[in-house]
Amino acid sequence: IDEQIFNEYVSLSLRYPPRFIQVHSAREALEVVQSGEQIELIISMLNVGEVDTFDLAKQIKRRLPDTPLVILTHFSREVSARLEK
């Protein structure tokens, strides 16, 4: 997915391409968020393993309330239902 996003940046003729930080667990994601690293967009899969994605999203949004968070899923109804809670 990072290649697709990079290609979209290139097509927009932006001066600087995005820099990606890839993590393999919710724990790693929280470590990056807490590190103070400048983050402009977060993309997550719906199933991140050991932690509920929505709990992870809440923790991230507490730390980075203005940073957009995208959750990738094929199950948009499930996401909509969880967001309504």
67 vs 47: which has the higher pLDDT: 67
pLDDT of residue 15: 67
Alpha helical stretches, state H, the chain: 2-11, 26-34, 53-63, 76-84
Residues 6+ apart with CB under 8 A from 20: 2, 5, 6
User: Tens digit of pLDDT for each residue in 12-43?
Assistant: 666 666 678 888 888 899 999 999 888 888 88
Number of helices followed by number of strands (H, E) in the chain: 4, 2
Higher pLDDT, 50 or 34: 34
**pLDDT of 61 higher than 90:** yes
Q: Is the pLDDT assigned to residue 48 strictly greater than 90?
A: no
Q: Is the pLDDT of residue 75 over 70?
A: no
pLDDT at 1: 58
Distance CA 29, CA 24 (A): 8
Mean pLDDT (the chain) is: 80
